[in-house]
A and B are shown apart, each in its own frame.
Chain A
Amino acid sequence: GVFAHLELLEVRAYEAAVKQEEMEQQEEKLARLKARVQELRLQRDELRAKVEQQQKGQLGKEGAVLNPAQPSARAVLEWKMKSLKAMLQIFYLTGISGKLTKRGVCFCISTAYEGTYLDSYHLDLLTKPEVQIYRHSVPIFIPLRQIAKKYLQTDIRRFLSVLSDHLNAYVGRRYQADQLQEHFSGQIEGTLQRNSLCNLLVFNYNVSSESKTFPFKVRLLYGDPCCSLPTEVVISCTPDAPASLAETAAAHSDLFRRVALHKAFRSFSSAGECVD
């Protein structure tokens, strides 16, 4: 009766859903293949254009005219090497690249901060009997062992990703502190107190108001090891500072939280705020 009818409807609905999923998968696959075809077509067009250009414009590097119909074996090899090098360069630029070794893999993590390439760090991993770190060049103050304990055995991609985050954040913080010391040393009173991880910076800088200068003491705490912006900013001024400076302090505090340190200082000078 009713139950049988319901069962029938359920079966139909299930079948319909399965069909729908299949169709969607097919469509997805089709879309991917179409995109790939586009990609390849584009590549082919590029290569065609290159070949044409070379045929037209070139007299041959060796001083002889190359037969355009049959590129020499040497030219092919050179082209292969060049494109392979370019591919490897691309992998390197993604930040994480690796090379198989006799006993495992050797990874290279390259870091960068806002367009500036910074240091590279290496990890030599063994894969048998289990994944372990044979040797590395990661700085000692990066918690490599803890990250490895968490992820190395179970999810190597995550391990590399987390480690890369730590390293990139560290070099980013270090870069900002270095830039501050290099370009804005005139505005800083005394020394910039920092540490190896650059996750705690304490320094004084001068702010002027009503033709008098007042020192601001700032303490930047970078609570997130994978972040290059501070999580905690404390700015204090001397008790004799005018009340208006409290607003400036709040504004600066907000700025430090959002913007790279040296850029924040640059904006002080350019915004016409008198930071001596």
Chain B
Amino acid sequence: MDETVAEYIRRTVLKIPRDEIKPMLQKWGFLSEVQLETVNFHQIKENISQDVVQLCEENSAGIKQAAVLDIIYNNIYPNKRIWSVYQMNKTGEETEFFDLTDFKKKFKRRLRSALKNVTINFREYEDNAIWIRIAWGTPYTKPNQYKTSYVVYHSQTPYVFISASVLRSNLPLLCQALVIASNYHDIHEMELRSHSLNSLKDIVFKRYSQNFKTYYPRPLPERNVAPETVDLRIIQENKNEKERIQRLNWQVFGDGPQPKIEFAQYKLETMFKSDPKMDVLDKKEPFRCLVKFSSPHLLESLKSLAPAGMADAPLSPLLTCIPQKARNYFKIREKKGLLPGSFVSP
């Protein structure tokens, strides 16, 4: 077995949390149950990885199998990477009959015709997600297995999720191969990025809970829970206001969990508005400013702002439009016209 492959497998196993190593190896399916039984998964990870490499040696693992293990790891822990969303366009209106074999063939052919030194591996999952792992080389060097890009694509959709590696120079080539393989015409990057791949999918596939008004009797959220022993001497002064906030919040955010994004960035290019008499700035130039909101879970924290009394309800639509507009990077310029205001550029 190639030394580089052995080292790569060893390092991949070291990344996996100890309790998850055996299940992941079982998912991998390259080592038999009998072989796995011979490994002591309670020893330190350094030793576990050595044992695993030894077994892989017995089975003559190649780079292909090592790559599959890497895909499995990234599929289970996708949040360790930052994912960008790309959108593809096409003009035709015929129904697409997505043929997986065809897709893989076209993708590999396009990529390899431009760059011979690449390692390309595919893995399909039950939710129709196709994972592609690409290890990049150069025209003169073999692919570097540690410089990898990942692509997640759901057939017959215009969205591609890409976690590019450090080498952004290969991105145009990757995009071109995707467009050709999936029968689209062009591709562009959306202003939507996050660590949480599933949340990005929720946003563009509209899988998050949008509260639609329907008559269909669905269980109402338990808002009016049986009151605890109510002391009639205690009066909720702001009950109406609280209910108003709750209602507005529900209208905007719905019932279910919010997609998980970690930041929203607003680039302001607006004029500073002050009392004309004060005349703070000499030059009438747009005030350039970058506002970035960061949070482990931005949308949930926005949802709790008004009920916590930290902001007025309703919140600014610039904050609440994130899932619907499918973006978390905004440029705000002056609205040209009679009415002053801000204009969000596409």
**CB atoms of A140 and B159 under 8 A apart:** yes
- Chain B residue at smallest Cβ distance from A224: B95
- Which residues A89-107 have CB closer than 8 A to chain B? 89, 91-92, 97, 99, 101, 106
The interface bits of chain A over 103-133 (1 if a CB of B lies within 8 angstroms of the residue's CB, else 0) are 0001010100000000010101000000000
Interface size class of B (residues with CB under 8 A): 20 to 34
**CB atoms of B128 and A194 under 8 A apart:** yes
Asked if B212 lies at the interface with its beta carbon under 8 angstroms from chain A, I say yes
- Interface of A, secondary structure class, is mixed
State the interface size on chain A (CB cutoff 8 A). 35
Asked if B17 lies at the interface with its beta carbon under 8 angstroms from chain A, I say no
- Which residues B239-291 have CB closer than 8 A to chain A? none
**CB atoms of B212 and A200 under 8 A apart:** no
The CA-CA distance from A195 to B182 in the complex, in Å, is 12
Given known contacts A135-B324, A140-B157, A141-B157, A195 and B128 CB-to-CB distance under 8 angstroms = yes
- Chain A residue at smallest Cβ distance from B93: A146
Partner pick for B206 among A120, A136, A191, A200, CB 8 A cutoff: A136
What residues make up the interface of B, taking CB atoms closer than 8 Å to A?
93, 95-101, 124, 128, 154-159, 204-207, 210, 212-217, 324
Of the A-B pairs whose beta carbons lie under 8 Å apart in the complex, a sample of 27, sorted by A's number, is A92-B216, A97-B214, A99-B213, A99-B214, A101-B213, A106-B213, A106-B214, A108-B216, A110-B216, A120-B216, A122-B210, A122-B214, A124-B210, A124-B213, A137-B206, A140-B158, A141-B156, A143-B93, A191-B124, A193-B100, A194-B128, A195-B97, A195-B99, A196-B128, A197-B155, A200-B97, A221-B97
Beyond the given A195-B97, A196-B128, please list 5 additional residue pairs across the A-B interface where CB-CB is below 8 A. A97-B216, A108-B216, A124-B213, A140-B157, A195-B99
Q: 9 shortest A-B CB distances, which residue pairs?
A: A122-B212, A195-B98, A141-B156, A195-B155, A196-B156, A88-B215, A200-B97, A196-B155, A196-B128
What residues make up the interface of A, taking CB atoms closer than 8 Å to B?
85, 88-89, 91-92, 97, 99, 101, 106, 108, 110, 120, 122, 124, 135-141, 143, 146, 191, 193-197, 199-200, 202, 221, 223, 225
